Amino acid sequence: MKSSPQLLTDPFLQLPTATSVQVVWFTEFAGNKHIVTYGEKLDQTSWASTTKLSRTREDQQSKVANQTYKEPVKRDIWRHEAEVTGLTSGVRVPYRVMSVREDGANISSDVFSLAPSPKLGTPLKILLTSDHQLKPMTAANLQKVVETVGRVDGVWFAGDLINVSDRASEWFDDHRGGALFPGLQGRAKYEMEHNGIKTIYTGGQIIQHAPMFTAIGNHEVMGRFARKDSLNDEFDDTIPRAVAQKLYSGKSLINNSFNTVTYEEIFTLPKSQEGGKKYYAVSFGDVRLVVLYITNMWRNPNLDPKYKGRYREAEKDLHNPENWGYGQIIYEPITKGSKQYNWLETELNSLEFKQAKYKVVMFHHPPHTLGDNIVPAYTDPVQIIERDEERKIKAVRYEYPKDKDYIICDVVPLLEAANVQLVFYGHSHLWNRFISPSGMHFLETSNVGNTYGAAWGNRKRDVPVGYKEDYVKLGDPNGLEPVMPTIDSLLNKDDQAMPYIASNNITVFSIFDTGTGIISSYRFDTRKPDSEVVKFDQFKLK
């Protein structure tokens, strides 16, 4: 029996302006007609343009229906985008999309609502989220967002939407139920079991009604194209552009170093002249949101010489630089004088930024955290090649000078001077927050699905032994004390309040209410499916 034709995703909203918004959806067929109907009677029509994703594939680790793959295989997916115009700020309009297949079968979505960019003074509820990565609690997290606060007006996503960007099923239909779009559209089916009780979470119907603005995390970046036997290995196969120029002279730098092609093909985002979709700024109601491309390659901290890692190359590859990892390479420079830094400096001095009531900066890598991913310093790896008496390479290792941490030394002072009120980021899969002496807030609210722990109490951070730089094993390496939740802290086993949430059972989300300037954080214990969502922290932006 042939299943009825379906859309691969519900429609979702992108790039609102004062009078328009983009509607995007995906199918697994090219089709011959794709439209949005909208208005109170759904009697207005906008035709969509269609493009085909160029790099989406499946491989041995894909979880698609009952299919298995022996190697990476191309998966054909089409993207449809229509602009809905003539909108009035503050007025929501019903809409739905329809795609017609080549055989004449037509498929329509449910009816949702859209709106253009909100005017100044409009109170908004904005979901702050990151690091979904198909993790176990993500669908529960997003379902509780909708159940707790209702429809949000926007989503800010601080990177790591998926694990491997070119694996199509991670975006659309991983059969375990945790793919990105189903979770954010209330179409997930993720089963969790505690004490023999099974609960299925569907995520939340969010981005059908609210535009999403995203930052690039390390998981949105793919490595050298089609050089490896699996997409996991390809993701891990990034090298610096300067090295690629030497190794692959005259060949595509994007194909032979690293790329964000699939991420950029999926989303319609604001653009900067210098950075395109990779870094940009946008005004949304009373907020000026500045999104930066601050992320590096996560490499294993293991010091075992068998492995390519954060601090050294594998012994087996010492004489084959093409297989080196080159440490935790930074994908887009942000150091003082770089193109992105100069763009940021200009943006922070712009009229749009200076006049905004709320000034928020979002990127992926943490400036302050109790998590592990903040070590070593966010700086270009310094390569040290050790040789024996015969000049043969006996070790290749990397150090990261703390006094050259680009976020702390270059970016944060710029943001402080510009009176940024909030810096929002992810990467370490936990909730914690900090305040600088000048009053700038730092919020990491990335424990939506799982955690890797916090360096607090008895749990010490893994730091390299025998390397030049010395890192703190407890607390924030960059010197700020974590802020204790203001309403209801979790307690440790000794009944002491904890300034963080790092749990594989308790999931966290945060909401920015621009009407009051208050950011509230909520937690939900998935071990108790019938329990209430608890607001445990709130703070106000001045």
The domain that holds 173 is classified in CATH as 3.60.21.10
**Within a domain: 345:** yes
Q: What single-letter amino acid sits at 418?
A: A
For the stretch 221-240, pLDDT in tens is 999 999 999 999 999 999 99
Residue 142, C-beta contacts closer than 8 angstroms, at least 6 positions apart? 183, 184, 186, 188, 203, 204, 206, 448, 509
Cis preceding linkage at 376, omega within 30: yes
**Within a domain: 462:** yes
Residue 59, Cβ density class (10 Å: 0-12 exposed, 13-18 middle, ≥19 buried) = buried
Q: In the chain, how many domains are there?
A: 1
**Within a domain: 351:** yes
Distance CA 423, CA 444 (A): 9
Q: What single-letter amino acid sits at 360?
A: V
Q: How far does the chain reach from its first CA to its final CA, in angstroms? A: 60
Instruction: Report pLDDT for 303.
Output: 87
Across the beta sheet with 212-214, the strand order is: 212-214, 154-157, 125-129, 506-513, 518-525, 534-540
**Within a domain: 60:** no
**Within a domain: 264:** yes
538, containing H or E segment: strand 534-540
Q: How confident is the model at residue 1 (pLDDT cuts 50, 70, 90)?
A: very low
In this predicted structure, the answer to whether residue 2 has a pLDDT above a threshold of 50 is: no
Residue 265: which domain range?
Answer: 118-221+260-540
Mean predicted confidence (pLDDT) in 375-392: 95
**Within a domain: 37:** no
Instruction: Report pLDDT for 424.
Output: 98
Distance CA 405, CA 437 (A): 19
For the stretch 288-328, pLDDT in tens is 999 999 999 999 998 889 999 999 999 999 999 999 999 99
**Residue with token string 């407890």:** 474
* 129 close to 156: Cβ distance less than 8 angstroms: yes
For the stretch 331-373, pLDDT in tens is 999 999 999 999 999 999 999 999 999 999 999 999 999 999 9
Mean predicted confidence (pLDDT) in 32-49: 98
**Residue with token string 């009035």:** 88
**Within a domain: 175:** yes
For the stretch 463-487, pLDDT in tens is 776 677 788 899 999 999 999 999 9
- The pTM score is 0.97
For the stretch 119-154, pLDDT in tens is 999 999 999 999 999 999 999 999 999 999 999 999
Distance CA 456, CA 503 (A): 13
What's the number of CA atoms in the CB half-sphere (13 Å) around residue 443?
32
68, containing H or E segment: none
The pair phi, psi for residue 169, each rounded to 5°, is: -65, -25
Burial 198-217 (b: 16+ CB within 10 A, else e): eeebbbbbbbbbbbbbbbbb
Mean predicted confidence (pLDDT) in 515-519: 98
